[in-house]
Amino acid sequence: MASITLDDVTKEFGDGGDAVVAVDDVSLDIEDGEFVVFVGPSGSGKSTLMRMVAGLETQTDGDVYIGDQIVNQLGPRARDIAMVFQNYALYPNMTVEENMSFGLKMSTELSADEIEATVTETAEMMGIESLLDNTPGELSGGQQQRVALGRAIVRDPNVFLMDEPLSNLDAKLRTTMRTEINRLQSDLGVTTLYVTHDQTEAMTMGDRLVVLNYGELQQVGTPLACFYRPANRFVAGFIGSPSMNFFEGEVADGTLVADGFEYDLSERMRANVGDRTAVTLGARPEDYTLSEAPTDNGFEVVVDVVEPMGSVSYVYVRSVAASHDETFVVEVDGQQPISEGEQLHAHAPATDVHLFDTQTGETIHQRELTDDAENALSQPLENATAGAD
């Protein structure tokens, strides 16, 4: 077991003027036994960051520590890590048993009997003991996934690295394996880095999320902190599904004027906005209500499309007063009868709304939470943006 520390780590691909910065000056402390999820869109540098921890890429600048040891100069084999790859990377010419014992043969002094015993034990834990004599080509995708996990676990490494391990599974299996990896990780207590572009996986799996975009750290925090206290507009839009709705506007005399509606800012909002004028209002689909009667701070919308999900419906609406055709999404109770073309009033209460600086994207006003939720986040309002750099 070990902690992981990244200290001003930068990775550039190519050289000179053509260099592409994949990871830009990232510093991060990961505690021993923690489950940390690197999440971001493709090209955000999340995989590169993990591969630098693995030693499969060498950082252009900065230091990587595993435990107290600087591992910059160490190859992957000396770092005592185990990795699960997106394509599983099972050795095609070896049986499952040989796949699982390969690492033990390569990196330990264990005898053949001890290796066999360890492999059998892990295989039983993973429920793959009946597959030990098969080759990977004979296994289903889900079984290959289990073998890949088993091959990592059997090593009993300091650190698990998982690079989008579930993305090749079908939706149902993915949900099952998600739970299983969660359970395994908490049982084994091994420090785990997990890369995904799937925000559902990110929310449900990690102790902490590391949100990346264009190689830059956007926010580090618990899933709920990233959800309720996004450091900036990118995190607010990336975490949560469907995404938060954003409306760019101008603030004048305590009112935000956007294309399609006006929003009277509360006292706390005004204080947070200060003398900024270009401000973006952000509100999650579930924080809007649609009603027939006009509401305070609400505005008239026309329903474009209704997507019933069962327990909830996603309603795509367009402001009647807007000069454009863009819709935004509102989540309503699945039983609320709403039909396309209907005219309703949309309203997001001042307590639930975020405000962002339009120029920098930085969060300038966070929504309010219940006291319990606030305590659970253990992240006071004032410091909510401190995670971002």
Partner 1 sequence: MASENQSQSSVDTGSQRLDKDTRETLVGVARHGLLLAWSFVVLFPLYWLASMSLKPPGSANSLPPDWLFLPTVYNYIRLAQDGAFLAAFANSVVMVSASVVLVLLIGVPAAYVLSRYDIPMERDVLVWILSSRMLPPIAVVIPFFVIFRELNLFDSRIGMVFMYVSINLSLVVWVMKAFFDGIPETLEEAARVDGATRFQGFRKVVLPAAKPGIFSVAIISFIFAWIELLFGLVLTNFKAVPVTLFVYSFIGSRSIEWGMLAAASMAMILPVVVFLVAVNKYLAAGLSFGVVIKE
Binding site for partner 1 (CB under 8 A): 54-56, 75-77, 81-83, 85-94, 102-103, 106-108, 135-137, 141, 144, 151, 155, 161, 168
Nearest to partner 1 of 193, 244 (CB atom): 193
- Least Å from the CB of residue 312 to partner 1: 34
Nearest to partner 1 of 191, 289 (CB atom): 191
SS3 content of the chain, % helix, strand, coil (to 5): 30, 30, 35
- Least Å from the CB of residue 135 to partner 1: 7
Tokens representing 381 are 């309002």
Nearest to partner 1 of 108, 277 (CB atom): 108
First to last CA, the chain: 29
- Least Å from the CB of residue 120 to partner 1: 18
What three-state secondary structure class fits 82?
Answer: strand
- Least Å from the CB of residue 89 to partner 1: 4
189: left (phi over 0), alpha (psi -120 to 50) or beta: left
Nearest to partner 1 of 103, 285 (CB atom): 103
- Least Å from the CB of residue 152 to partner 1: 9
Nearest to partner 1 of 49, 235 (CB atom): 49
DSSP state of 265: P
354-357: strand order across its sheet: 261-264, 255-258, 245-252, 278-283, 354-357, 363-365
| Nearest-10 crossing angle of helices 96-107, 141-153 | 20
Q: Which amino acid is residue 74, in one-letter code?
A: L
Run of H or E including 12: strand 4-13
Nearest to partner 1 of 160, 316 (CB atom): 160
- Least Å from the CB of residue 31 to partner 1: 22
Give bridge partners of residue 251 from the DSSP assignment. 256
- Least Å from the CB of residue 75 to partner 1: 7
Q: Which alpha helices (H) appear in the chain, and where do they start and end?
A: 46-54, 96-107, 112-126, 141-153, 171-188, 199-205, 223-228, 233-238, 267-273, 371-377
Nearest to partner 1 of 54, 211 (CB atom): 54
